[in-house]
Amino acid sequence: MADINLSRITKCFGDYRALNQVSLDISDGEFVALLGPSGCGKTTLLRLMAGFEEPGEGQISIGGQVVADPAKGVMVSPEDRNLGIVFQSYALWPHMSVSRNVGYPLEVRGMNRADRDRRISEALDIVALGPYADRSPAELSGGQRQRVALARCLVMEPRAVLLDEPLANLDVHLRETMQQAFLDFHRRTGATMIYVTHDQAEAMAMADRIAVMDKGHIRQMAAPETLYREPADHMVAGFVGAGSVLPITGVEVENGGTCSVKLGDTRIAARVCPKLASSGHINGQAGLCLRPEDVWVEDEAPLRGKVEDCVYLGGRFRLSVRIDDEHTLPVYANRRARVGEPVGLKVADGWVFDRLAGEVA
Ligand SMILES: Nc1ncnc2c1ncn2[C@@H]1O[C@H](COP(=O)(O)OP(=O)(O)OP(=O)(O)O)[C@@H](O)[C@H]1O
């Protein structure tokens, strides 16, 4: 297995700049998700790593070997990069059994039967499909087919496994089961894994770190908890986790990374990003990210609002509460609330950052 390093990668299709100066360092054995809205450049980045596309500028190394560097005329072909690739479509041979599908890449390489059988059986064990070895793909569920595709890339003992929305064709229930299968696969193999998805819950459930992409840039790369608690900007805050971002002014930074923010007719305490904490003051507008679990209804609280919406989530309710013309807060509550009902709100935590939408890190 290997680490993967991308340095200042730019990729254009005609006049369109799909990736702009993207740098990314993935450690050996790490599970990294590339997350972002449709068209942000996730698949293009994966295809550049795989060698299906050539960068216009920048350098890609895998396990210390430079595999793409247009300035030096280096472009290693996909077959010589030794990476496993799993797509949304499983691309299994319908006329071959599960075990022959898994072993086919080894057959093409001319590996002898005994070694091949051993590698096939190890790979099928890892994806828990040993008993299905003699079935044909038509006799498997979607999730089982995707596990065959995973086993097929594993037999090649790849340096890393690249996955492009591998669960997109599966129903919600199966997706959760498969997320666990991918995590087990990662734990058992220690493989470096790069996983493209536009589903933030899927990325949060599986990845060690997530690179959040937007319009050909990486906005923030961090552990899921950090992205959730300390989003770098408006786009990340809105894309990762349910919550809302409020434009705010009148922030007073205090010592120790906290600040006080004016909300409605009162002030609340919030954490503040390091850049703002060190500058000591905020000129102009900043963003306040609030998560619904940090805001609750408390009758006597000084922050007042009116319920605009109430949705039952199973076990709790999610309210939208308008506190003034500009601001609506997400709130979890343990009782149903009437639309128009006046409520008091307690805000236990918030995160203030200085970059609003449109700016790029
Ligand atoms: N071969 C190509 N020719 C022209 N434009 C392309 C090509 N491949 C990708 N693009 C454009 O580059 C941008 C990034 O595409 P990419 O497939 O990487 O996005 P994505 O984030 O994977 O999106 P999705 O989640 O919808 O698959 C898009 O605007 C797309 O239209």
CATH of domain 4-229: 3.40.50.300
- The whole-number pLDDT of residue 169 equals 75
Instruction: Provide the sign of the torsion angle of the four alpha carbons 338, 344, 347, 351, taken in this order.
Output: positive
> Hey, which of 11, 34, 43 would you mutate to test ligand 1's pocket, going by the most ligand atoms within 8 Å of its Cβ?
43
Written as one string, the DSSP assignment of 50-81 is: HTSS--SEEEEEETTEEEEEGGGTEE--GGGT
Q: What residue spans define the domains of the chain?
A: 4-229, 234-353
ipTM of predicted assembly, 2 dp:
0.96
Regions in the chain scoring below 70 on pLDDT: 1, 280-281, 283-284, 355-361
DSSP-derived secondary structure letter, 336 = -
* Protein residue with least CA distance to atom 9, ligand 1: 44
Answer yes or no: are the C-beta atoms of 88 and 165 closer than 8 Å: yes
pTM of the full structure: 0.88
- The whole-number pLDDT of residue 361 equals 43
- The whole-number pLDDT of residue 310 equals 96
- The whole-number pLDDT of residue 126 equals 82
| Ligand 1 site, residue 43, Cβ cutoff 6 A | yes
* Protein residue with least CA distance to atom 24, ligand 1: 38
| Ligand 1 site, residue 197, Cβ cutoff 6 A | no
> Hey, which of 11, 16, 17, 89 would you mutate to test ligand 1's pocket, going by the most ligand atoms within 8 Å of its Cβ?
16
289 alpha carbon – ligand 1 mean position (Å): 30
- The whole-number pLDDT of residue 358 equals 47
* Protein residue with least CA distance to atom 2, ligand 1: 13
- The whole-number pLDDT of residue 163 equals 92
Written as one string, the DSSP assignment of 288-305 is: EEE-GGGEEE-TT-SEEE
- The whole-number pLDDT of residue 355 equals 62
* DSSP percent split of the chain into helix, strand, coil, nearest 5: 30, 35, 35
| Ligand 1 site, residue 175, Cβ cutoff 6 A | no
Answer yes or no: are the C-beta atoms of 141 and 174 closer than 8 Å: yes
10 alpha carbon – ligand 1 mean position (Å): 14
CATH topology of domain 234-353: OB fold (Dihydrolipoamide Acetyltransferase, E2P) (2.40.50)
- The whole-number pLDDT of residue 356 equals 59
